[in-house]
Amino acid sequence: MDTQYHSHMAHNQVSGKTILLATLSAIAVGGPLLAMMGFSFLSTMTLFIFTSPLLIIFSPLLLGAGFVLVLALVGFGAAALMAIAGLSALGWVLRSVKEHEFLGLGTATEKLMESAENVKDTGKEWAGNLKQTVQNSPENMTANSA
């Protein structure tokens, strides 16, 4: 068993020439990469040192510009949501008209007008209830009696 181990080790030994070539190729590839990394770090730190005072001086302006940018993005998002809601409502109305198309266009129009009247009546009812509630409120009673 001992001879088997030694013969196996003899086949797996690495020569000095292979180690030397591997080292030279690592230096040839790694050296320029290390130099570029150092140059990049040096230039980044130099720019950081020179621009830090400017960043501190103009920070109020940059903060205001950031707020304006965020508000503009929120506005565009709200506009997009409203456009989607409008298109959805338009689609709902068109589907409703197509649903009643078999009854004839006049009947579909009458149905839509009837729905509008129901909404209008409900609004008037709600406004009347609100007015009644305000008139009967304890604050209003004390104001009327004074």
- Structural domain including 35 reads 1-57
Residue 66: predicted pLDDT: 94
Number of domains in the chain: 1
**Nearby residues of 108 by Cβ (< 8 Å), 6 or more positions away:** 96, 97, 100, 101
What per-residue confidence (pLDDT) applies to 7? 53
pLDDT of residue 99: 73
111 Cβ contact list (under 8 Å, min separation 6): 96, 100, 103
Note the pLDDT of residue 128. Answer: 75
Q: What is the mean pLDDT of each run of 10 residues along the chain (146 residues)?
A: 55 85 92 95 95 90 94 97 95 80 64 76 74 72 60
Residue 2 lies in a domain: yes
Helix (H), strand (E), coil (C) string for 16-74:
HHHHHHHHHHHHHHHHHHHHHHHHHHHHHHHHHHHHHHHHHHCHHHHHHHHHHHHHHHH
In a domain, 26, yes or no: yes
